[in-house]
Amino acid sequence: MELKVYNINGSETGRTISLDDSIFAMEQPNDHAIYLDCKQFLADQRQGTHKSKERSEIAHSTRKLKRQKGTGGARSGDIKSPVFVGGGRIFGPKPRDYRFKLNVKVKRLARRSALSYKVTDNALTVVENFSFDAPKTKSMIEVLNKLNVNDKKSLFVVENQNNFVFLSARNLKNVKVVNVSQLNTYDIVNASNVVISEGSISEINRVLATK
């Protein structure tokens, strides 16, 4: 398939770029692969340091509060019982690792599916390679305005580690800049519009090609 190439001023360059149909125009994108990859990404972000105390860890007396029978109420043990305020918690959270394994082929399938959805929704734009002479948030805002994505959550995919572009977008809440090696399914799905630099297309084809 062919897509028009724009410059950072939002104007057409008169050129088109050929995109791999197996990556950007899948006939049947796999929703479950997208779900699994996003789930793994979010699970990797969790610290897993949550912890609550059980009754054996509460610092209270172990004295029996009242006699077993004859009070007219339910029997009770010590104050550390989970039924009392300040007692231990039953089956509370413990530190754990939320990460899980996902096959590389599934992750590639998920990214191809997510990109195909963006093309179908007309939410993917290809721009000429660009860079800034200095890190300026104002310069990035001008690019967003000219590409008509200033009011959308946008993901920029660039071909290399351009620090000035990264730094220019760092203070913008709804803008994220990644290179091809950092591209993941969650960022693609989470963005309303994906802007890909022309030079990164060949690298995406190489990384996500069907193998």
- Please count the residues of the chain: 211
Tell me the DSSP string of 173-184: TTEEEEEGGG--
pTM: 0.84
Q: Indicate the DSSP class of residue 90.
A: T
Residue 37, judged by CB atoms within 10 A of its CB (0-12, 13-18, 19+), counts as buried
Q: Domain extents for the chain?
A: 2-47+98-208, 52-92
Would you say domain 2-47+98-208 falls under CATH 3.40.190.80?
no
Residue 3, judged by CB atoms within 10 A of its CB (0-12, 13-18, 19+), counts as middle
d(CA 127, CA 207): 20
How confident is the model over 18-41, as pLDDT tens digits? 899 999 999 999 999 999 999 999
How confident is the model over 116-133, as pLDDT tens digits? 999 999 999 999 988 888
Task: State the Cα angle at 164 between 145 and 169, rounded to 5°.
Answer: 40
What are the φ and ψ backbone dihedral angles of 124, each rounded to 5 degrees?
-125, 125
What are the φ and ψ backbone dihedral angles of 129, each rounded to 5 degrees?
-60, 135
How confident is the model over 80-111, as pLDDT tens digits? 999 999 999 999 999 999 999 999 999 999 99
Helix (H, G, I), strand (E, B) or coil at 190: helix
Helix (H, G, I), strand (E, B) or coil at 70: coil
d(CA 118, CA 144): 18
d(CA 159, CA 142): 20
d(CA 199, CA 134): 21
Look at residue 1 and tell me whether its pLDDT is greater than 90: no
How confident is the model over 160-209, as pLDDT tens digits? 767 889 999 999 999 999 999 899 999 999 999 999 999 899 899 989 88
Look at residue 211 and tell me whether its pLDDT is greater than 70: no
